[in-house]
Structure 1
């Protein structure tokens, strides 16, 4: 039986409210060494913003990152998993949706974690190059 998502996810993901600015999200990403922040409204997941979103949807469009709220550029149509889903389900959803990370939410749609393709690679053992890449320290 494959492990559960809760066994491999990063718990307590970084979150910011919908009205936080891109500048705030970029600082969190830099300070935490991560590439995404979950966006919430009233404690419930409503989007995700990545470092790429900030570059492509804001900087490249000459938006002022200190004034632009996350709600203007975050991805709002999300595929999520629950902590009790198995890692096979998470991998299938990543393939079907062509995404590298999935927010993990509880029954009330509150974010409790995030699972990325690297987490699944490490969980599935030392098959192929992805587990080694995923275990490597960040290059920042």
Structure 2
């Protein structure tokens, strides 16, 4: 079974917790990704900012993205996966926390992101369907 390290997208960039959401949206756009980890000034992971967060929690609530920080959207402790955890553990973590992206941690360092698409490519077809179903139901 492949590990997170084997199936992740390496070289993940962070958005700083004190960056405004407008800057974060521009970074998401320029990188062509759907989410960025939120990192604090201490270089610790604070959460993950998604394009959906920007639309629902900022624009949809009438907040000004130039005056809302990425850190304001971080929700408690970030859900992560260890670099050497296998696809079954990634599957279980995504299902349990109902997330589609997981930051990959090696020790205390962020080394990449693993997405639902990464897992789908790495897992047998029945498990992929189970994961999609788990993440798609309310």
- TM-score, length-scaled by structure 2: 0.84
Moved over 4 A (4+): none
Question: What SS does the aligned partner of 2:36 have?
Answer: strand
Q: How many residues align?
A: 127
- Give 3-state SS (helix, strand or coil) of 2:19's partner: coil
1:42-53 correspondence to structure 2 within 5 Å? 42-53=42-53
Of Structure 1 and Structure 2, which has the larger fraction of its residues in helix? 2
| Counterpart-to-counterpart distance in 1, 2:89 and 2:4 | 9
Task: Please state how far the C-alpha of 1:99 moved relative to its aligned partner.
Answer: 1.0
Q: CA deviation at 1:78?
A: 2.2
TM-score normalised by structure 1 residue count: 0.83
How large is the RMSD of aligned CA atoms in angstroms?
A: 1.7
Q: Please give the residue correspondences for 1:43-122 in structure 2 after superposition, counting only pairs within 5 Å.
A: 43-108=43-108, 110-122=109-121
Q: Identify unmatched segments of 5+ residues in structure 1.
A: 131-140
